[in-house]
Amino acid sequence: MSGYLAWNEATARAVIDENRAAPGALLPILHALQETFGYVDRAAEPLIADALNLSRADVHGVVTFYADFRTAPPAAHELKLCRAEACQSMGGDRLADTARRRLGIGFGEATPDGRVRLEPVYCLGLCSVAPSAMLDGRIVGRLDDRKLEALLAEVER
Amino acid sequence: MNVKLFVPQDAAAVALDADAVAEAFARTAARRGIAIEIVRTGSRGMHWLEPLAEVATEAGRVGYGPMTVSDVDGVLDAIADGKPHPLCIGVVDAHPFMARQQRLTFARCGIVDPASLDDYVAHGGYRGLARALVLGPQAIVAAVTESGLRGRGGAGFPTGIKWDTVAKAGDGQKYIVCNADEGDSGTFADRMIMEGDPFVLIEGMTIAGIAVGATMGYIYVRSEYPHAIRALDTAVAAARRGRKLGAGIDGSSHAFHIEVRVGAGAYVCGEETALLDSLEGKRGTVRAKPPLPAHKGLFGRPTVINNVLSLASVPGILEKGAEFYRDFGIGRSRGTMPIQLAGNVRHAGLFEVGFGLTLGELVDDIGGGTASGRPVRAVQVGGPLGAYFPRALFDTPFDYEAFAARDGLIGHGGIVVFDDSVDMAHQARFAMEFCAVESCGKCTPCRVGAIRGVEVMDRIIADNRRTANVELLKDLCDTMKFGSLCALGGFTPYPVLSALAHFPEDFGLPPSRRQAAE
Ligand SMILES: Cc1cc2nc3c(=O)[nH]c(=O)nc-3n(C[C@H](O)[C@H](O)[C@H](O)COP(=O)(O)O)c2cc1C
Ligand code: SF4
Ligand code: FES
């Protein structure tokens, strides 16, 4: 997942300016910053607070409330496995255990070398082709041992 | 020869390599000198057959699925020579799964090009809006009320009454907000409409705007749906270009604008007041009601907030009339419900039908039992806050009141099927865990109760003072049920207590009397 810019204030300001006019602009701004830098740097919070006339605490509260917003640069790959009921009914828990074991990390953790982060997701709307996964935004249905092995090989390359 | 081919772009098909299949068709046809036009559609809803490629014939669209890239050459042979092929399912509309449905909301899904306004209009789109412009605001609200349409997001509140409240809430800025947060496990109907027929949602929102006097609409769509977001962006832009959005819609004096907003991974933001806070740029915490969003909603202004399916049902109601819609269904559940068959079920997918089929008909006949081939043991209806039903309750008709009478709910219409390998104590634990993860934190019974619930379930599973802990679990559920501000904390007891009531043996207790009598 390269292609992100390194954090810098000038670009951040431009991104904020581009999105600030819409009513309730905070989430669109945070999404735009994350698309640009891969995460929302702590240093962006006072800039956003200034632009939207909010307190820094307000902005920080929002950044930390939502599961989507990362506060540190992302791992090279992000593997999301659906942990919700429809995927459980098709053996999702067992595949999740395999992924954990193979990567040697738990959900919400990244490998020490920064190759991959394992994240839980609660439903991708692919419940009719469960279990499901998402690797760097690419969706996979009917996940099984073979498909999971291919995804793991891809992130370890 | 000229071949017109349809390959779904629905996320469920894409997750099974539909993009690669579409590319293989294009490449192979080019190599073989076959003139081919490939349209990327939504899905028909027969997800066990995805990717399902369809070819236009005089008899109708003929389907081939489930396709893999290696099947492409053979299927092209079959199309060219009209020869049989093992993956051919015949005319798609005549397939028993399709023929048994009553597709009103999903009439065009899987058929039209979701990126083309012209195709939408060619398939009867925007007739509802035309009728709405003739009728005027009051008569639109009356038609929606008379249709009996109830909110498809879960609560089942009459849509017409909600619109009437906003229509009568004075002048000034009002909003239409579409709840496209679809967080429930086992549900994907909103996603399918947004990806397969997004204009019907845009048309429904536009009609809502005219009905209540709102000129601005927001679609709040969850970030887990990147394909739906793209389809919506494309359709909204096309509608603007075609003057179906903006000022002077269809030459009338009405204006309506739509903006697509993306959520950020919080289940609770599907709750309407948390969603409004999130749209305003705040943490997604639930607001106490009153005031209702209809009086004080987005930015403090009167707001209609409706689920995707509620809004997408409106154009058809306007076009065909309130009576036409009301004539489907039973009791106080009028019209049709797009039912989502999910999890361990053979014929997984979307099945739209008038209310009233029994749970057993849906799971066994239409769903075809489990995908694993093992016996069906439990089904969870209505998402993570819905109850688990055992086979003994399979005579329950799909109807808001009938499910409520059996301590369940139909919610957004998702049915998740489990075979006999399921451990219901584990499922009860998960319900508590999910509530703990997703709680907005505003009230103690939910925030703290769910964490306690996980601990209590852990002790029950570990056979640690089982009987006492089951009593504690019941008490805890009682506290959550009656002390929570919203249904996240308030309804989590449904899956927990239903698992306990119907599958006590999984909690180390004697089997229930009902099972003993079977
Ligand atoms: C925790 C929670 C999550 C919800 N999630 C959704 C959702 O994802 N989509 C939805 O339409 N309604 C959801 N609802 C219901 C909404 O609060 C609200 O009833 C609905 O948007 C109203 O629209 P309708 O009348 O068209 O159903 C949720 C409710 C709760 C308590
Ligand atoms: S029940 Fe839970 S999610 Fe709902 S308002 Fe209370 S704390 Fe928030
Ligand atoms: S439950 Fe896993 S995709 Fe819906």
Closest CA to B231 of B511, B455, B14, B38: B14
| Domain co-membership, B397 together with B447 | no
For residue B245, being part of any structural domain is answered with: yes
- Looking at B400, B419, B438, which one is the last position of a domain? B419
Residue B141's domain is classified under what CATH number?
Answer: 3.40.50.11540
Mutate to test the interface with A, among B9, B46, B174, B224 (most CBs of A within 10 A): B224
In a domain, B111, yes or no: no
Instruction: Pick the closest to residue A132 from A115, A156, A151 (CA basis).
Output: A151
Contact B278 A27 (CB under 8 A): yes
Instruction: Say yes or no: B163 and B275 in one domain.
Output: yes
pLDDT digits (tens, 9 = 90+) for B446-491: 999 999 999 999 999 999 999 999 999 999 999 999 999 999 999 9
DSSP B387: P
Q: Are residues B7 and B51 in contact, defined by beta-carbon separation less than 8 angstroms?
A: yes
From chain A, pick out residues whose CB is under 8 angstroms from the CB of B342.
86, 127-128, 130
Pairing state between β B2-8 and B414-419: unpaired
Q: Which residues of B touch A26 (CB under 8 A)?
A: 281-282
Q: Which atom of ligand 2 is nearest to the CA of B444?
A: 7
Give the Cα separation of B38 and A9 in Å (integer). 45
Task: Quote the pLDDT of residue A1.
Answer: 46
Q: How far is A26 from chain B (nearest CA, A)?
A: 5
Q: CB count, 10 Å around CB of A17? A: 12
Residues of chain A with CATH 3.40.30.10: 77-156
What is the residue range of B309's domain?
A: 117-326
- Whether residue B277 is contained in a domain is answered as yes
Question: Which CATH number is correct for A77-156, 3.30.200.20, 3.65.10.10, 3.50.50.60, 3.40.30.10?
Answer: 3.40.30.10
A26:B340 CB<8 A: no
Amino acid of residue B498: S
- Please state the ipTM of this predicted complex: 0.97
Q: Give yes or no for B435 touching A (CB within 8 A).
A: no
Contact residues on chain B for A140, CB-CB shorter than 8 A: 15
Residues B375 and B259 in one domain: no
Is the domain of B165 the same as that of B289?
A: yes
CA distance A62 to A71: 12
Residue B141 and residue B86 share a domain: no
Look up residue A106 and give its two tokens: 């738990």
Q: Check A88 against B282: CB less than 8 A apart.
A: no
What are phi and psi for residue B90, nearest 5 degrees? 80, -160
Q: B129 and B60, same structural domain?
A: no
In a domain, residue B226? The reply is yes
Same domain, B404 and B444: no
Rg from Cα positions in chain B: 24
Residue type, A88: Q
Q: Which atom of ligand 1 is nearest to the CA of B273?
A: 17
Torsion, Cα B115 A33 B273 B428, to 10 degrees, reads: 90
Residues B265 and B394 in one domain: no
- Cβ neighbors of B347 (< 8 A, separation 6 or more) are B46, B48, B97, B341, B366, B367, B368
Do both B415 and B448 map to the same domain? Answer: no
Judge if pTM exceeds 0.90. Answer: yes
Same-domain check for residues B502 and B362: no
Instruction: State whether residue B34 is helix, strand or coil.
Output: coil
Q: Which residues are near ligand 2 (CB < 6 Å)?
A: B 268, 286, 439-443, 446-447, 484-486, 488-489
CATH for B433: 1.20.1440.230
For each successive 10 residues of chain B (518 residues), what is the average pLDDT?
A: 94 98 97 96 98 96 98 95 93 98 98 98 98 98 98 96 97 97 98 98 98 98 98 98 96 96 97 98 95 97 98 98 98 97 98 98 98 98 98 98 97 98 98 97 96 98 96 98 96 98 96 58
- Clarify whether residues B343 and B318 are in a common domain: no
Are B150 and B245 contained in the same domain? yes
Give how many domains chain B has, as a whole number.
Answer: 4
DSSP-derived letter for residue B363 is: I
Spacing, Cα B184 to ligand 1 middle (Å): 10
Pairing of strands A133-135, B53-57: unpaired
Please say whether the beta carbons of B337 and B380 come within 8 A. Answer: no
Give yes or no for residue B289 CB within 6 A of ligand 1: no
Strand pairing partners for B91?
Answer: B62
Contact residues, chain B, for A121 at CB < 8 Å:
224, 265
Last residue of a domain, one of B382, B397, B419: B419
Give the model confidence (pLDDT) of A11-44 as tens digits.
999 999 999 999 999 999 999 999 999 999 999 9
- HSE-CB of B121 using CA atoms within 13 angstroms: 12
| Spacing, Cα B272 to ligand 1 middle (Å) | 6
Q: What is the pLDDT of residues B106-138, one digit of tens each?
A: 999 999 999 999 999 999 999 999 999 999 999
Residues of A in contact with B419 (CB under 8 A): 89
Give chain A's radius of gyration (CA, Å). Answer: 18
In a domain? residue B401? yes
Does a structural domain hold residue B110? Answer: no
Smallest CA–CA distance from B267 into chain A, residue: A122
CA distance B473 to B457: 8
User: Chain A residues contacting B, CB < 8 Å?
Assistant: 22-28, 30-31, 52, 58, 61-62, 65-69, 84-90, 121-130, 132, 137, 139-142
Q: What is the pLDDT of residue B511?
A: 83
Alpha carbon distance A86, A129 (integer Å)? 9
